Amino acid sequence: MAPTVADQLIEILRQAGVRRVYGLVGDSLNPIADAIRRTPDVEWVHVHNEEAAALAAAAEAQLTGRLAVCAGSCGPGNTHLIQGLYDAHRTGAPVLAIASHIPSTQIGTNYFQETHPQHLFLECSAYCELVSRPEQLPRLQRIAMQTALAKQGVAVLVLPGDLTAEPAPNPTGHSHLVETRAVAVPAEESVRALAAKINQARTVALFVGAGVRDARAEVLELAAKVHSPIGHSLGGKEWIQYDNPYDVGMSGLLGYGACYEATHEADLLIMLGTDFPYDTFLPQAHTVQVDRDAARLGRRTRLDLGVEGDVGETLRAVLPLIHQKTERAFLDRMLRKHADALEKVVSAYTAKVDKLRPVHPEYVAAVLDELIADDAVITVDTGMCNVWAARYLTPNGRRRIIGSFRHGTMANALPHAIGAAHAQPGRQVVSMSGDGGLTMLLGELRTVRERRVPVKIIAFNNGSLGMIRLEMMVAGYPSFETDHGVADLAAIARACGVPAEVVDDPADLRRALETALAANGPFLVDVRTDPNALSIPPHITAAQVRGFALAATRTVLDGGVGKMIDLARSNLRSIPRP
């Protein structure tokens, strides 16, 4: 039997090293699903909502750096992909989405379930094309795959269902797929200009993002040479915060420590590998930015200098041109401010926290941080779970923390965990799920049960949309429609076939988490946490303070501790005495 277009499609994926397609089968996808059924090296990972398929593919691509694939049937099937594809594209995860379409002869007739995917997905992709004839394949598929890898984003191939069942008119053949990316080397004049700026500045602060992933040593060497405090975005935390004698915390809505002060008080701020979106947290002056993508330069703040280049390559080029600074008073002052900012909430965190009911969510995160493996993958729901992860999970260079940090969609943690567990079997995967996010995609509890995905789901169950409540309070509005009561998530999980346990007494927390982490398959811990535990950024405006004072009747924490306080104290001990 001659191979069909669907057979050819799956064979090309197999050649590219793709071993699974996440999705939910449907009529227009039947030829593709059947081709996977007959291909031993590629599996279909059935999910219960296509949104979860795209999020799972996004997590797999982030962990492996390789192409991941999801699929949706025509109309509402592929429109469900959109949140996960936005997340993947904005995160820089190479994902190929197969958007099945109505029969080709019906396109343009307002047919049942007709949409126009080639238009719908344009904003969340680097490549999006409709295949109208079988002769366009396999060429368009290879272009889509290569574009996803080259642009580090999403490519969408729109395929009418009838077309995929036709015989493949062109030979499949073999073609090399380039997965590695060239390193952007900065121009010499930019390197000299950067060196001049650094040498002229009396004080320097560094603010780094995920772009320093492969340049940690160079960033620390620069900080040592100019006695610079290092602040970071949430995306940069896992790559730079650990064992960092210059750490002053994080800026932004989830921030803590002295990062805000350091970035505003320095004579020169150097942004390295970050597209930090919150311009109100940046000084909007005396700033240099280094990024491999020139389109990001200056779009968040006015720049004195922009440098297009890989962070590691740029720093290796500029370090020999930089003079060693001798004055470190600014660094020492920022380190003290950072330690003080953490110290002032230690008592609030430690005072009877192991006895207070409802359970404090920061206590859950801190205990979890102690128990998870050194190389665990932790997926984090958007909302207050982001706060607890940012402030209480300790990076070490081996752990990965994955969330919808750039798109900010809810319900991402469990689907991300499903993708992570499939991508790297045997690695511990933990989902920090908020009750608001988890209940949006409860069907994925069936996914982990049906496929025996060994994810550990730690549900922060406070019966409240905590981040939304906080946003209302800071704006001066009383909270409205944010509190809906505590659902019995453990009972729901057990009904889905997932072992589960309720924790409403902090004395039971450690044992329950240990039980979950030791389980062979999936396990859910339903922790009844305090809805009154909220968190505000380290810097808010006077208007926000006034608005908050009008609405606030809740306990608010304005910092974080975890093991970061140990690092901060250690860094203080390294300050030379006069």
Output the tens digit of pLDDT for each of the chain's 578 residues. Answer: 679 999 999 999 999 999 999 999 988 999 999 999 999 999 999 999 999 999 999 999 999 999 999 999 999 999 999 999 999 999 999 999 999 999 999 999 999 999 999 999 999 999 999 999 999 999 999 999 999 999 999 999 999 999 999 999 999 999 998 988 889 999 999 999 999 999 999 999 999 999 999 999 999 999 999 999 999 999 999 999 999 999 999 988 778 889 999 999 999 999 999 999 989 899 999 999 999 999 999 999 999 999 999 999 999 999 999 999 999 999 999 999 998 887 765 544 545 677 778 898 989 999 999 999 999 999 999 988 988 898 889 999 999 999 999 999 999 999 999 999 999 999 999 999 999 999 999 999 999 999 999 999 999 999 888 778 777 766 777 778 888 889 999 999 999 999 999 999 999 999 999 999 999 999 999 999 988 776 655 565 655 545 444 444 444 455 555 555 666 665 666 566 54
The pTM of the full predicted model, rounded to 2 decimals, is 0.92
- With CA atoms as reference, report the closest residue to 90 among 54, 133, 115: 54
Place domain 352-572 in its CATH homologous superfamily.
Thiamin diphosphate (ThDP)-binding fold, Pyr/PP domains (3.40.50.970)
The domain 188-338 is placed in CATH, from the list 1.10.1530.10, 3.40.1390.20, 3.30.110.60, 3.40.50.1220, at 3.40.50.1220
* Residue 209 contacts residue 236 (beta carbons within 8 Å): yes
Average pLDDT, the chain: 91
Distance CA(299)–CA(403), nearest Å, equals 23
CATH topology of domain 5-165: Rossmann fold (3.40.50)
| Segment 167-182, tens digit of pLDDT | 999 999 999 989 888 8
- With CA atoms as reference, report the closest residue to 237 among 396, 428, 408: 396
Which residues touch 197 (CB under 8 Å, ≥6 apart)? Answer: 268, 288, 304, 305
* Equal CATH topology for 188-338 and 352-572: yes
Q: How far is CA 178 from CA 60, 150, 250, 497, 543, in A?
A: 18, 8, 35, 42, 51
At 394, phi and psi to the nearest 5?
-100, 115
Q: Compute how many other C-beta atoms are within 10 angstroms of the C-beta atom of residue 374.
A: 10
Distance CA(222)–CA(322), nearest Å, equals 9
Q: Where are the domains of the chain?
A: 5-165, 188-338, 352-572
Alpha helices in 276-383 (DSSP H): 311-318, 329-343, 346-350, 361-371
Q: Compute how many other C-beta atoms are within 10 angstroms of the C-beta atom of residue 399.
A: 20
DSSP 202: S
| Segment 482-534, tens digit of pLDDT | 888 899 999 999 999 999 999 999 999 999 999 999 999 999 999 999 887 76
Distance CA(432)–CA(529), nearest Å, equals 13
- With CA atoms as reference, report the closest residue to 254 among 392, 417, 398: 392
- With CA atoms as reference, report the closest residue to 398 among 375, 423, 421, 368: 375
Which residues touch 326 (CB under 8 Å, ≥6 apart)? Answer: none
